[in-house]
Every structure is written in structure tokens, then in C-alpha cells.
Amino acid sequence: MQPKYIIAAALALCTSCSKAPQQAELSYDNHLTTIKPSDNIWFNKKVDFAKSKNITVFVDNRLSGADGNVVAKAIKEALPVAQKYLSSISPNINITSITWGDVLPAPGTTYDVVIRADNSGTGAAPAWAHIPDGTGKVGDLMSINLDLNQTGLSWAHVYYTRLLVHEFLHTLGYGHTGAVSGGDYDANVEEMAIPNKHNTTQDPLQALMSSYNSLYSLTGYSGAPADFDAGTNPFYVFTKGDLAQLNWYYTLKAPYDVY
Ligand SMILES: [Zn+2]
């Protein structure tokens, strides 16, 4: 049984922020031993494949790491790898371009997703993202907290790659796995439990979309596997439960359609 984190903060914040169009990433006490298949969450905001097949991304130069910020450097290294994983699992998901710049365009204008840097402090979430607005577009904004430094993890490159893939999955319409069993599920708002066409139990600390970023490596390695950056082995980033929920809306292509 994995160690626990602090729950009160998570629930209080979630309830108080009444599910703004961003998904709060908070460490929380995970009293779940396993996550049921039906714990995957869809925000019920349609995304047109014409949009998800051609996602253009703009990135704030503050995330280039040119000023020596180690979190920014880690994000700069992880972003092209996250792009590879996301663009290889489904015929309906493709990040086609990543543009860097100093002047951030308004979200939802010239680029599909704007990734900016923020300084929300060491007590805040490592990142957050907007969910789709229901018009068919993907969520238009992602924000990375430069103050929360996880680069000390021996497998930090895997961590930051998973963090970015997690946030992109919010922009693609997914909520936090575990919300049903974790009591953080609000039927009155957008969230809906994804029908459990699969029967893949999920480890609460391994599931990519749990509402915190697991401090546990999926690879079981200290560091990243030699072929991690190739983006060809889904199990370096996704659990089977993660893949099952992706397949439910976007359809996965072989060999990733295993769950
Ligand atoms: Zn999240």
C-alpha cells in the first residue's frame, strides 16, 4: 500500500474552485487501494477530431530555461517527448507544431494551446490546464509552475513528460481518474464516468490522470529508459487504464490498443 498525501487541501480547493475550466492538480491523500475501471472521467465536452488531429502549440520562452531555471529546462527537454507519445497513440491526436516566443498570443486565437510559465509558489500545483469549451476545440491554455521543483527526482525526465501528457489530456477532454471513488465527482457539472468497457483496475499512484502527479516511476527505473525519448513504448507513460480511456473517445492504433 503506497504512502498517503494530504487530502483536506485537495477537496477543499476543488469544492471552493467549483470546477473552474481548469483542472486543479493537487497532492491528496489517496485512500483508494485500487481505482475501478469506471473511475476514468470525461468532461463531456466534445472535441472535433479535425482539431485534435492538428494541434498547434505556442510556448512561453520563459519555459526555455535560457535563464537557468531548472524546471523550465526540464519542461523544454520533456515537451518534444510528450509530443511524440501523444502523437503516436491515436490516429485522432497529433501535435503538429510547437512554436516558442516571448509575446504570448491570447489563448484560443492563433494557436490551439498556449503553454505559459507561472510562479504560483512551492505550495501550489505543478501545472494546470483548461478543458475543452464544448465548441469542438481543445482546451486552449496550460500553465507550468516554475516554483515547484521536481528535478531532484532521479527519473525527473519521465516525471515532466508525464506531467505534460497529463495536462494535454485535460485539454483533450479528460478529467481526473479516481474522482468517482475519491468522492471528487460532481454529476451536476461537466464530469461523467467513462463506461467501463475495459476491466483494467488501475493503481491510484500509477494512473496518469490521477489528480496529482505520482512520485512513482512507471518504468521502475532510476532515470529514464534508454529508449524513453523514442516515444514508442506506451507503458513508459500510460497505464492500461489510461490507454482504455483514450481508446474510448479517440480510438487507439496498434500496438497501443492494449488494455
Ligand atoms: Zn490534472
Q: Measured in angstroms, how far is the CA atom of residue 91 from the centroid of ligand 1?
A: 24
> What is the Å distance from ligand 1's center to 211 Cα?
5
Give alpha helix (H) positions in the chain: 7-16, 49-52, 70-86, 156-171, 240-250
| pLDDT value for 151 | 93
Q: What is the pLDDT of residue 185?
A: 58
DSSP label at residue 208 = T
Please calculate the CA angle 43-46-48 and round it to the nearest 5 degrees: 140
Gap from CA of 128 to ligand 1 centroid (Å): 6
For β-strands 127-129 and 41-42, DSSP reports them as: unpaired
Q: Which helix (H) or strand (E) holds 98?
A: strand 95-101
The top-level CATH class assigned to 6-258 is alpha beta
Distance CA 98, CA 101 (A): 10
Q: What's the gap in Å between 174 CA and the centre of ligand 1?
A: 9
The pTM of the full predicted model, rounded to 2 decimals, is: 0.86
Question: CB–CB of 130/107 below 8 Å?
Answer: yes
Predicted confidence at residue 179, as pLDDT, reads 63
pLDDT tens-place values along the chain, 259 residues long: 444 444 444 444 444 444 456 766 644 444 444 555 567 888 888 999 999 999 999 999 999 999 999 999 999 999 999 999 999 999 999 999 999 999 999 999 999 999 999 999 998 889 999 999 999 999 999 999 999 999 998 889 999 999 999 999 999 999 887 666 555 555 555 678 887 766 666 676 788 887 655 556 566 556 788 899 999 888 889 888 888 889 999 999 877 776 6
Q: Give the model's pLDDT for residue 37.
A: 56
Where are the domains positioned within the chain?
6-258
**CA 223 to centroid of ligand 1, rounded, Å:** 23
Which 3 state secondary structure label does DSSP give 197? Answer: coil
Instruction: For residue 239, give the C-alpha cell.
Output: 497505464
In this prediction, residue 35 carries a pLDDT of 54
Question: How confident is the model at residue 14, as a pLDDT?
Answer: 43
Cis peptide before 37 (omega within 30 of 0): no
Q: Which residues pair with 57 in a beta bridge?
A: 98, 113
* CA-wise closest residue to 166 among 186, 146, 142, 190: 142
- The Å distance, Cα 137 to ligand 1 centre, comes to 19
SS3 string of 3-46?
Answer: CCCCHHHHHHHHHHCCCCCECCCCCCCCCCCCECHHHCEECCCC
The grid cell for 141 is 491554455
- Longest CA–CA span in the chain (Å) reads 47
